[in-house]
Amino acid sequence: MTTMTASEIELVTLADIESAARGLAGVATRTPLLPFDTITERLGVPVFVKPEMLQRGGAFKFRGAFTYLSRLAPAARERGVIAPSSGNHAQAVALAAKLFGVPATVVMPTTVTPAKRVGAERLGARIVLAGTTTSERYEKALELAHLEGSTLVPPYDDPAIIAGQGTVGLEIASDAPQVGTVIVQVGGGGLSAGVATAIKERVPSARVVAVEPAGAPKLSRARAAGRPVRLDKTSSIADGLMAIEIGGLPFAHHQRYVDDVVTVDDALLAPAVRLLIDRMKLVTEPSGAITIAALMEGLVRPNDARPVVAVLSGGNIEWDGLQELLARA
């Protein structure tokens, strides 16, 4: 098999993202931009957050999942869908399947948090547990899809998924057309790829910075190598960002549209979660708060006086886990 280079891959376009936005109108929540005065005062430039914990399913993932299901042939959709996920993608697919009235199975890690498992079950999904890594979940999902005739909904490495997640960036560009810096988390890369594409196509002068855990530096390693690199292992309390390898299609988008990538230590995440609760009254999981941690620690600095927007990707964290996390802060 011949491997395509990044320059040969057909990228998701702004028109694709705009089409996804039309399909999500009246279905997905159009989350607002909220001013974060505490960090604005610290940095001296306007800082806003994009609170995707207010999205249906508690995270940005619903945008991509619904877009993907909406583009399936009706016969394929009716046979059911299956999704490998650490949690947020599982809930998003379960919700999208419920809206379409089709069965959903989600393959989650044996270490899945109670909040994310219960969330998917509450939405009617059948739960299958498999291993602790992205590859183990994906292989199990492929096996079940083959046996049962269901359609696998990829978590990030797919044009429809990227287009759906890119609507986050489209909304940012619409609400803050003078934005100077956008900070977005990167796991498998679907969100960061879509957001970067929308921002750069709508506001070419804006800077896009991707943020990932120090214990899962899959994009940093890929950019250094010029190609996706599979990590031997990942470790982070930001469980939604622990993919062991950046997706091929997302990586092509990152190479074209992302200006920089920074890594954040786990020790910085709990204080960011605490700050968001104290000052913004927003409950954010560590994966969602990582962008704020990067700003708080000066890992990302504004280039000029234009506004900064930090994406908060989700808020699916159970009460016991939140209390433990806040105790660390």
Q: Alpha-carbon distance 311 to 184, whole Å?
A: 5
Q: Alpha-carbon distance 181 to 77, whole Å?
A: 39
Stated pTM of the model: 0.93
Q: Amino acid letter at 46?
A: P
Q: Are residues 174 and 135 in the same domain?
A: no
- From the candidates 61, 140, 200, 218, which is the catalytic residue? 61
Q: Are residues 46 and 75 in the same domain?
A: no
- From the candidates 86, 236, 287, 313, which is the catalytic residue? 313
Tell which of 152, 168, 187 closes a domain.
Answer: 152
The 10s digit of each residue's pLDDT in 163-174 is 999 999 999 999
Q: Alpha-carbon distance 155 to 90, whole Å?
A: 9
Q: Nearest-CA neighbor of 254 among 195, 304, 297, 203?
A: 195
Q: Are residues 270 and 181 in the same domain?
A: yes
Residues 6+ positions from 26 with CB-CB distance below 8 Å: none
Q: Are residues 36 and 123 in the same domain?
A: no
Q: Domain span at residue 134? A: 61-152
Query: Helices marked H in 52-185 — which ranges?
Result: 61-70, 74-78, 88-100, 114-122, 134-148, 159-175
Q: Is the pLDDT of residue 2 over 60?
A: no
Q: Are residues 300 and 189 in the same domain?
A: yes
Q: Alpha-carbon distance 311 to 133, whole Å?
A: 25
Tokens matching residue 186? 């990167």
Mean pLDDT of 32-57: 96
pLDDT-based confidence at residue 8 (cuts at 50, 70, 90): low
Q: Are residues 252 and 140 in the same domain?
A: no
How many folded domains does the chain comprise?
2
Q: What angle do CA 195, 256, 6 make, to 5 degrees?
A: 115
Assigned domain for 1 exists: no
Assigned domain for 287 exists: yes
Tell which of 100, 133, 152 closes a domain.
Answer: 152
Q: Are residues 105 and 233 in the same domain?
A: no
Q: Is 218 a catalytic residue?
A: no
Q: Is the pLDDT of residue 6 over 70?
A: no
Q: Is 61 a catalytic residue?
A: yes
Q: Are residues 226 and 313 in the same domain?
A: yes
